[in-house]
Structure 1
Amino acid sequence: MKIHRVTILFLFLLLSGCSVEVKKEFYPEGKVKAEMRYRKGRLDGISKGFYASGKLKIKAYFKDGQLATATCYDESENIIPCPKMKEGSIEEQ
């Protein structure tokens, strides 16, 4: 009986952790422009934005819809200052 309870608890935790939705935006050519993670309809976790070349443009961490940290890159993959971003987005203003 104890194993049965542990199994149910494990399944509950597994399913509750699966509430993360990943949304992707694409350039017209088909390459990924942005990959954003949402939990309960709000940005949460690591989101990434990419140049049309496919290189990383921005890596941002959101917590409950609020930007916590962000690192921006130029096309040569050097770290650069991040521009001001739209609220709840990894897009520039």
Structure 2
Amino acid sequence: MTCEDVREARSARLDGEEVSVASATLDAHAGGCPAGRVSLARAEHVTRLVRVQPGAVPDLTAPVLAAVAAGTESVVSSRSGLGVAGGSGRAWPA
């Protein structure tokens, strides 16, 4: 099995595809091939970067500032469960 064969099989495994090569064979290649170890580390790193993305976070600046200015206790809809002063049920101290 060539390095290219192993690289393709590892790529498929990282993508969750079915691989006809045993995982032990792929791991053994990386254990005995310095270029294979580097290739595997890079592929795993890229896979993590692509799959792990930050989630969308709503901008609550305007509702928070409006609530503080109005002296109200709740900033956001009850759906989010967030409130002024860390959800303590109290408005910010004057």
Q: TM-score, normalised by structure 2?
A: 0.31
Larger radius of gyration: 2
Would you tell me which structure has more helix in proportion to its own residues?
A: 2
